[in-house]
Structure 1
Amino acid sequence: MKRILTLALAFAVALPLSGQAQNSDSLNLAADQATSMNKLDDLMGRAQKRLSYIMTNLGELTDGNDSNNSFDRFKDNLDDLTSIRSDIKDRVERVRELQGQRIAAWTKEVSGMTDKDMR
């Protein structure tokens, strides 16, 4: 009976601690970072698609086949690629920022130090 009561008490004490671990700043930042990485992956896919279109447009232009307005499409795709490149740069910066915040939060959680102590 004492053994069961001791186990139940230990479980009751450990249960709130496991909830805190699941709610940690570093895990929340890791989730944000994963979301940001997925967006970066989507941007990379869009950039590859635009590059493929640009190569097709260039092929049509070198063949002398401009019936599809290849040059205008080339310019549009190049403008889109430039815009996507800018978005990629911004997203990479965000991922780096989140990584730094995540490392700081994890260090704080593991060490048990406050913000003031860490400075």
Structure 2
Amino acid sequence: PLSYQLTEKPDWITITGKNILFSENRGVARTGIVTFTQDESMLTTSISVEQAAGSIGSNYIFTINGNVGNVSWTGVKATGESRSYTITSSKQTIVNGAVEKTDNITYTSSSSVD
């Protein structure tokens, strides 16, 4: 077999041996061409690549005592008592279907009395 060289490729493609690696796409769909050139004849052959658009989204988490939405406390003693609660308030950044990071976010509180 005659030798050949990689002569053209987009920067989001890496070639190692006979393997082609496509880096993660975080933006719009993209296309590219990988071109190889035969050393002796200068003939070329190409691979046309179309990579799907990436997706970036958010998932907000806001829970009280592990529950999404409202919590009801019944049976509070007439003489009074103390109860504790835990609030989780965070935002997940989701890239291409996988959670990339989770950030804590602030929240406000209020109370009402009947």
How high is the TM-score relative to the length of structure 1?
0.27
- Greater Rg by CA: 2
- Write 1 or 2 for the structure with the bigger share of helix: 1
- Write 1 or 2 for the structure with the bigger share of strand: 2
Higher relative contact order (CA 8 A, sep 6+): 1
